[in-house]
Structure 1
């Protein structure tokens, strides 16, 4: 579809002489810029910070690795072509981002959208969208200064961080609350006008702040994605997004000049080869570093062998700022066309390439390929310190950022405005210092009083007295940071000695710490913010560890009425169809049935969690009809774990019979790895569990932990 728009744009553009066409370049650029705004607004609606949280470290590691490699290779390639450093930098930025639309279309055409590795690819694309937006800001800063000044770039990024912090937290607090209050009076027409108005208003604000219009559209889209009505808004703006997105891609095609391509065919072919081979290799390397198997990493990396919409947006930015050569634009469009053609064939080639490599490497390397990415992660490996530090740093960043914003708001805007109305008066400095501290007080309270929402601080404090030193240092840093903000606010208005300043700061900190009024007000702010941020409560996802096997994963399927599955017991389904997939959970209305027994009857509209490999799950889905809808649902108490049978374990000598194991231990036994051999086997009554075996089980975490550590 994207390729068709580009070709249509070329045919109707000023560089195709055989049909009536558009000749005003200014009009093309205007409509192209408008298309970028609505395209980024739609991407922001699909982005959502909840999705970013679900990606975890895998997506970030993969994208950081890909960005470093592709940006470096792109820059070096540009310099090798004799281009100046600015063109080379923009080329590097264009090569780092894959095309979400092209990958989704390829998955649909190839029937891969529900495969296990597809979810990994979508997670990488979510992080790439964020990196692309950050690149727009950094490249804009480089373009304005025309030199690489690290100080300027750092200041720009710090400014961006504060800008995003203010608008995201403020937007999530106010906009969902406003929509909730006026919902009864808002029909579809008003809602779409309101949403698009917010988008364009944010575009104006970001341009006034010195950022690109695309960033503003993306920010407002991500804010609206956190609203209760986000799905309704997305459905309403989809035609607008698709229409203006098509206009953007048409404008891309209109600016392609064949005469320029005739002179730059060598760079086009070389850059295309870099995108296809180096980019897919970079993503594969990143996913390997993140702990995935070679097979999964290759299948995911081969999907990222193209560039698309964000590359065009970066090129358009360079042209609008007059910092790149006009010839670079048609070059990057041509590369996109070539790599789009290659994408489906390259995706198909991933598994054959892996199998070919596996067959031809020495036996020692085969063991490495089988084991790489399947490191053992035991049940008690979660680090409470890591979780606490993550929460601590997040809170320091958020509350510290808001203190900076409030200080700037009062010192640069509100207090000067009041002074312009009243003129100088007695004790005006004391009044302004008090107002500033009052505005900062809720965030000072949160900074110095709040620890963490999960109670990890108190747990670590009580568990080990040897951990109290670092914990005290963490508290001391927060108090010191709060005191510095108070001293900054007071010394900005009042000229007093250091001794007096110290006493005033201490008194202020103690007053804020003990104030019940400030505590009540902050609790109200926090409650509303968290309520809006988590407006669509989702049960903790049932996640299968990626280390079990390349193909084994979990799918969620709704039982359709009138199908082979509906109305039968689990044992009847397995006996008649032998799909190999196992039903590990049934959601029936608000009721959850974990590890259902074989006599459980499957009813229409039950939501089933199915465990198996791609073929087994696909076969089960066929039984349920080709139109069965996959639903994202989960249960917080059930998950998949594995552990090593230790000495004196009560499991030693037990038969690996699935039914007996489930009845005795309330866990579903999925597989066994025997001792040092590491051979993975399906459970069978002929297999006896021994010391050193690794068991894979599905069930309650507490139960699994209890069984794994239980002794005779």
Structure 2
């Protein structure tokens, strides 16, 4: 018999620690799924059990390993958030959500900072507390909305829009907090430098990403299986992480930016689906690592701050969000509901707290306090959302009638369409044009000076790289100086001779700016001879090839716009709209196969007369029917876009045999616009006789007259001069009708 060979295997702490984390997380997931509680809480408890502060359970061997896994978790969490974000969503949420988020964030930063100072904390702890309290939890809100069945209600759109704005503000806060942490003081100059640097790189990365990434994915679509798509998307994510780190930003920022760029491509949904398991895995590791920092002794010692901060979070965020929503022009009802929905802290709060720990600038007690406050507000959120309507009803009783009328009038005024100021539109277009093209040119020169030219190993390669740099930025230099901007407003302004002089001055300013940019580049290149060569090349190209330069720019612009709109063209044109100041909103219903209304015309169904709702859009496969007429039939699997109050929508849900799909937020040209009726020809005639529907391809969803509001008025309703008409329909045609 041969001698037995002894073998021993060494299990690295990295592997054993990951195994312990996932085992505890797995048990916690099953338990919390069974008791129908947020999984985040389960991860936090699992982390506490596997952490160094709970000796009755196996403990991780090396917290450094856990920090590495947690950092990876943050990267993939932010990448996934970016995939759900998209820069277009930020534009589409509109002024209401932006104003709500701005008021809420600014207020809570001030309130949080003040609370920290009153508790005797230092400056850094207090400023981090303010930032932490300003962020709400998307995960908790989505779960609560699903359980309570309120995703289709009007206020939910404001909440989702506010969460989108909070995501991008959180990224900005992380950069600013890093700057403050390094300097250990609030320096206005340093903060402005950080903001400028962040804005420059964000714009540069976004413009370059939209130009190159969708093109790459389209050119390689035949090679992109699920496996290769996952690998390529993660590679792009980590590439941007490296770029962000090299630029002096956090890795999380790079992950979020790449996710946002990919969110604009046609592959966004597929990549989001493929990345989800990776995000769930490393996200679990991150939240477990957060739980490991929970120390019961610390919590017991700081029980009073936990209680105070919890109260500040719940009531401060409720009041701040309600006020922000009111200021944005939403009615009191939706404002209260939105305010009571956002009264918690969540994922980004943990990430900001982690940033403070990583930088070593926050005290050890801040993290466990944040975790405790998050756990408490997680449980209170569903209760607050459920009782928000009761609070609103109580407020209606308490508030004086004149206050309520003023709020309603303010809400109506903020939503009414106003005449376009052509100067304002033109200046805005010129400013955007200058900023975008200046950033592109600066980016090209930056890459050339710091990465391309240093690679030169002789005069020939040096001047070759200079030539390539000039060729690269020349189309954008041409556009900056000579490309026409905001053409419609420009043509309108030219009709008045008084505008000619300022228009000429603006044109000269653009040309002067190009000259300044060229001289700055020459100065950066240092060599005077090189500067002369650059000027000569620029002049030669401008004289000899003006049409080619223009064509080159046109091709680049076309490719960018095509990539930017690619995802929209591949999706059905759908939209969610609000009916402010009414309690109405637009939501979607899918007609089930067995529905009794299938095969009937809108005239036969009489949903407007019987239920008080309007059907604004019918989507049938790839066919989109905007403002369907009375003879249009409903077929199984049609998606109907229905306008009505929460109660009317609920009645319609029952009418179509409970086939509710829920509110969606996709791009479409179908919008809501309100304007005052000033046309004498329409005074005293019915809606049907006015032909507004036919002339603007829209429907009158509501009328306001002397403070009274009528939602979905009948076709026989008589119009009067001074009525505020609210039209839902084609954006261009409604605007054209109003501007007559």
Indicate the residue corresponding to 1:603 in structure 2.
Answer: 635
How far off its partner does 1:401 sit? Answer: 1.3
What TM-score do you get using the length of structure 2 for normalisation? Answer: 0.87
Indicate the residue corresponding to 1:451 in structure 2.
Answer: 484
Does 2:398 match 1:360?
yes
Q: Is the 8 A contact 1:411 1:436 kept in 2?
A: no
Q: Is the 8 A contact 1:5 1:250 kept in 2?
A: yes
2: CA distance between counterparts of 1:449 and 1:378?
Answer: 36
Look up the SS of the partner of 1:343 in the other structure.
helix
Does 2:729 match 1:691?
no
* Alpha carbons of structure 1 residues 490 and 685: separation in structure 2 relative to 1, 3 Å: closer
1:168-247 correspondence to structure 2 within 5 Å: 168-247=206-285
Q: Is the 8 A contact 1:261 1:330 kept in 2?
A: yes
Indicate the residue corresponding to 1:652 in structure 2.
Answer: 683
Look up the SS of the partner of 1:650 in the other structure.
helix
1: CA distance between counterparts of 2:205 and 2:719?
Answer: 57
How far off its partner does 1:698 sit? Answer: 4.1
2: CA distance between counterparts of 1:402 and 1:702?
Answer: 32
Q: Is the 8 A contact 2:452 2:465 kept in 1?
A: no
Q: Is the 8 A contact 1:94 1:311 kept in 2?
A: yes
Indicate the residue corresponding to 1:440 in structure 2.
Answer: 473
How far off its partner does 1:293 sit? Answer: 1.7
Indicate the residue corresponding to 1:141 in structure 2.
Answer: 179
How far off its partner does 1:409 sit? Answer: 2.4
How far off its partner does 1:658 sit? Answer: 9.2
Does 2:428 match 1:390?
yes
2: CA distance between counterparts of 1:632 and 1:553?
Answer: 12
1:33 to 60, 67, 71: 71
2:492 to 450, 457, 460: 460
Q: Which runs of 5+ in 1 are unaligned?
A: none
1:444-593 correspondence to structure 2 within 5 Å: 444-452=477-485, 455-493=487-525, 508=539, 511=542, 515-538=546-569, 544=577, 546-549=579-582, 551-574=583-606, 578-593=610-625
1: CA distance between counterparts of 2:254 and 2:736?
Answer: 51
1: CA distance between counterparts of 2:269 and 2:696?
Answer: 42
How far off its partner does 1:233 sit? Answer: 0.8
How far off its partner does 1:571 sit? Answer: 3.5
* Alpha carbons of structure 1 residues 313 and 573: separation in structure 2 relative to 1, 3 Å: same
* Alpha carbons of structure 1 residues 378 and 510: separation in structure 2 relative to 1, 3 Å: farther
Residue-by-residue CA offset, 1:232-274 (whole Å, 9 max, x unaligned): 1111111111121111111111110010011111111111111
Q: Which runs of 5+ in 2 are unaligned?
A: 1-38
- Higher mean C-alpha displacement, 565-574 vs 108-117: 565-574
How far off its partner does 1:56 sit? Answer: 2.1
Q: Is the 8 A contact 1:670 1:683 kept in 2?
A: yes
Look up the SS of the partner of 1:279 in the other structure.
helix
How far off its partner does 1:609 sit? Answer: 1.9
Q: Is the 8 A contact 1:457 1:471 kept in 2?
A: no
1:57-72 correspondence to structure 2 within 5 Å: 57-72=95-110
Look up the SS of the partner of 1:583 in the other structure.
strand
2: CA distance between counterparts of 1:141 and 1:255?
Answer: 25
Size of the alignment, in residue pairs? 699
- What's the RMSD between the two structures over aligned residues? 3.2
What TM-score do you get using the length of structure 1 for normalisation? Answer: 0.90
2: CA distance between counterparts of 1:379 and 1:147?
Answer: 45
1: CA distance between counterparts of 2:513 and 2:696?
Answer: 51
* Alpha carbons of structure 1 residues 181 and 243: separation in structure 2 relative to 1, 3 Å: same
Q: Is the 8 A contact 2:586 2:663 kept in 1?
A: no
Indicate the residue corresponding to 2:26 in structure 1.
Answer: none
Residue-by-residue CA offset, 1:184-230 (whole Å, 9 max, x unaligned): 12211111122112222322332232211111211121122122211
2:341 to 291, 298, 303: 303
Q: Is the 8 A contact 2:607 2:613 kept in 1?
A: no
Indicate the residue corresponding to 2:20 in structure 1.
Answer: none
2: CA distance between counterparts of 1:513 and 1:2?
Answer: 64
Indicate the residue corresponding to 2:365 in structure 1.
Answer: 327
Residue-by-residue CA offset, 1:344-374 (whole Å, 9 max, x unaligned): 1111222211211211233322322332311
